Structure 1
Amino acid sequence: MSTLPAPPDGGFCADAWERTAELQRAIVQHPFNVALTDGSLDRDRFARYIVQDARYLVGFAQALAAASTRADNAEDAAFLAGSAHGALVEERRLHAGYVEEFGLSEDDMAGIETSPSCLAYTSFLRASALSDPYPVLIATILPCFWVYQHVGSTILEATGGAGDHPYSRWIETYADEEFAQAVLGARELTDRLASEADESTRDRMLGAFTRASEYEWLFWNSAWIREEWPTARWR
């Protein structure tokens, strides 16, 4: 099982996680993740989630790539650029495996419209990349790292190991030690930037982290309810 050490007392990440503790619990306890944990999640919901997540990862990678160009040292730039590469290559490889397993054709995937929540979340990331100060952008990006690692590790612990779980590849990807280290790197970067920021910027970072965490819940929920555009009937 992959675990992360607790954020340092008084650091930004400790404060942000405490401020969003109820929301983080709600994410883990969402019916989608409960069903994912016990293996009862139906294949249609998971397939739709995979399609939306693949589209989300494009926006996430673009935000990471934008952040890498604004880093003030080579190590941070390399970390962010590498994470962008991982989002587009490694995680999309996971998605491709499930797409093949579910027998989804290109036409099937094209027929699944990007959900309102997916579009809203990716638009939020892109807007942050275009207009927010660098520390705020990093705080905006952090929940996608941290929440997925938290959910994956919680599921792995609850199941006692992925084993023959029907969604074992997904669980192992986000509970993996290498991914845990990437999350730790993202947290350390965020803490460092917050420690150097003025109070106004730190407040904006906290607001961005909270809003991105809310979008994480909305994303899981949209997969569970099979969210579609209610306005589609008027097109």
Structure 2
Amino acid sequence: MSKLPAPPADGFCAKAWAHTADLQQAIVEHPFNTALADGTLDRDRFAFYIVQDSRYLVGFAQALAAAATRADDPADAAFLAGASQGALVEERRLHAGYVAEFGLTDEEIAGIGTSPSCLAYTSYLRACALTEPYPVLLAAILPCFWVYQHVGSTILEATDGAEGHPYQAWIRTYADDEFAQAVLTARDLTDRVAKGVDAQTEARMLEAFTRATEYEWLFWNSAWVREEWPTARWLR
């Protein structure tokens, strides 16, 4: 499985994807992802991205864990809790891989500041986990699953399987069948929950999905420009 089947046309997910279609295309066409696809992305940018991603995954895992506590269906709770654990396992794997591949010490990694966009995205998910109802939290979580699979599978298709590609491991992580199945499960869960909400809650779900997708674009862009805090020069 590479490209996912389209979600049911009458469901929330189809509406949310259609609403953000131009932004989804802009994410695929972002210079970071086009350089990643053609193998020309420089290692410093990719390293910056990996550090930010490992920190983002901690906040994402916390949002997933919060969602798991609200699920009425035991299977849904198990999926969300498992995804939370998987995000933390991935965070540790990224950290270890970064140390091994780039030869940086833990102290040097700690010296790379968390970017404004990374902090904003994780803070948004944590805020949703604390203040939003379960359906809205699910909608805020979904883009991290779906957008990554979309980008990964698009790049895999463009690189003819990514054999010999310098970023082959990353591409295959987000384009493989296991991750695709997780995305389908997350989509199905969100669609099922959305069927039981009123119009106001559905509107809030769409707003949350859109905002998280915007943060996805900002996250890629922050890695491309190696975003720093503009106020840092005034602080010691």
User: TM-score normalized by structure 2?
Assistant: 0.98
Q: Is the 8 A contact 2:32 2:221 kept in 1?
A: yes
Contact kept, 8 Å, 2:58 with 2:91, in 1: the verdict is no
TM-aligned CA deviation for residue 96 of structure 1: 2.4
CA apart distance, 1:94: 4.1
**Which string of whole-angstrom CA distances, capped at 9 and with x for unpartnered residues, describes residues 85-140 of structure 1?**
11110354145223311112111101100000000000000000000000000000
The 5 A counterparts of 1:74-93 are 74-90=74-90, 92-93=92-93
Moved over 4 A (4+): none
For these two proteins, the number of residue pairs brought into alignment is 235
Q: Is the 8 A contact 2:3 2:154 kept in 1?
A: no
Identity %: 77
Partner of 1:234: 234
Q: Do the aligned partners of residues 140 and 64 (structure 1) sit closer, same or farther apart at CA in structure 2, a change above 3 Å counting?
A: same
CA distance in 1, matches of 2:91, 2:226: 22
Contact between 2:61 and 2:88, CA under 8 Å: does it hold in 1?
Answer: yes
The answer to whether the 8 Å contact 2:99/2:106 transfers is no
Q: Is the 8 A contact 1:2 1:175 kept in 2?
A: yes
1:165 counterpart = 2:162: no
Segments of 5+ residues of structure 2 without an aligned counterpart are none
Paired residue for 1:55?
A: 55
Tell me, in whole angstroms, the C-alpha distance in 1 between the residues paired with 2:31 and 2:172.
20
Where structure 1 has 5 or more consecutive residues not aligned to the other structure, the ranges are none
SS in 2 for 1:172: helix
Query: Which aligned pairs between 1:1-235 and structure 2 lie closer than 5 A?
Result: 2-90=2-90, 92-235=92-235
SS at match of 1:196: coil
Deviation at 1:234, TM superposition (A): 1.4
Letter in 1 for 2:222: S
Alpha carbons 2:156, 2:162 under 8 Å: kept: yes
- Contact 1:94 1:170 (8 Å CA) reproduced: no
AA partner of residue 187 (structure 1): R
The whole-number CA distance in structure 1 between the counterparts of 2:91 and 2:153 is 17
Asked if the contact 1:94/1:169 (under 8 Å) is kept, the reply is no
What code does the residue aligned with 2:71 have?
A
In 2, Cα distance between the equivalents of 1:110 and 1:79? 32
**8 Å CA contact retained: 2:51, 2:109:** yes
**RMSD between superposed Cα atoms in Å:** 1.0
TM-score normalised according to structure 1 size: 0.98
CA gap 1:95/1:151 in 2 versus in 1, 3 angstroms: farther
Amino acid at match of 1:133: P
User: C-alpha distance in 2, partners of 1:134/1:146?
Assistant: 18
Distance of 2:97 and 2:169 partners within structure 1 = 9
Matched AA of 1:75: A
Amino acid at match of 1:180: A
Contact 1:47 1:99 in 2 (8 A): no
Query: Which whole-Å CA distance do the structure 1 matches of 2:95 and 2:153 have between them?
Result: 19
